[in-house]
Amino acid sequence: MDNLSFVAQSAFPLVWIVVPAIGAYVRGRRATSTEERLEIWQRWWAIGAFGIGSLWMTVAFLAVPDVMATAIGFPRTPFLFEIAFANLGLAIMGFRAASASARERITIGLGGGMFLWGALAGHIYQWFAGGDHAPGNTGGVLITDLLIPAVMIVLAVRSQRLATQPAVR
């Protein structure tokens, strides 16, 4: 694999955090309050990062399992089918989070985090113990696995705190 191809494949997962961040930033500039801006960020993150990003992974693992196996540095096994449906669960949770309460978003972030942070630990283990330097194992996926649930939780906690603060007159 040439260097450009490796970098492109390694960086591709970052699309699922960069696009929602840009969309939320652009849309949030017109917000009239902190609460509105925070809600915009949460919805963009829920739909873009959690929802569409996970749905993309579902489709990729089901439609082109050989490509995905190569990308992550594993042989093609039934595990890929399981990963596809785990990502489908994340996608459904992400789309649900778009209209959820702050408490539900925290729970969705924690639930997604259990899978994604476990996957992150697995990627790091395979990187160091197994020497797996495939672009889908050591690239942008490390950042997305960490940040997608973490940002969801942080935004939801902030939203919950704002909602419980007394109004300033």
Specify whether the CB–CB gap between 32 and 73 falls below 8 A.
no
Assign 6 a pLDDT band (cuts: 50, 70, 90).
Answer: confident
Mapped onto helix, strand or coil, the DSSP state of residue 104 is helix
pTM, whole model, 2 decimals?
0.91
Residue 169 above 60 pLDDT? no
* Residue 51: DSSP 8-state: I
Domain limits for position 83: 3-164
pLDDT, tens digit, 9 for 90 and up, residues 59-70:
999 999 999 999
**Residue 3: pLDDT band with limits 50, 70, 90:** confident
* Spatial separation of the C-alpha atoms in residues 152 and 112, rounded to whole Å: 9
How many independent structural domains does the chain possess? Answer: 1
- Determine, yes or no, domain membership for 117: yes
Q: Judge whether 98 lies within some domain.
A: yes
Identify whether 169 is part of a domain.
no
Asked if residue 64 is part of any domain, the answer here is yes
Angle between helices 140-164 and 34-44 in degrees, nearest 10 = 150
Q: Which residue has the higher pLDDT, 9 or 146?
A: 146
Q: Which residue has the higher pLDDT, 9 or 47?
A: 47
Does the residue 35 lie in any domain? yes
DSSP at 32 = S
**Residue 37 backbone dihedrals phi, psi, to 5 degrees:** -60, -45
Position 132 pLDDT exceeds 80: yes
Q: CB–CB of 98/156 below 8 Å?
A: no
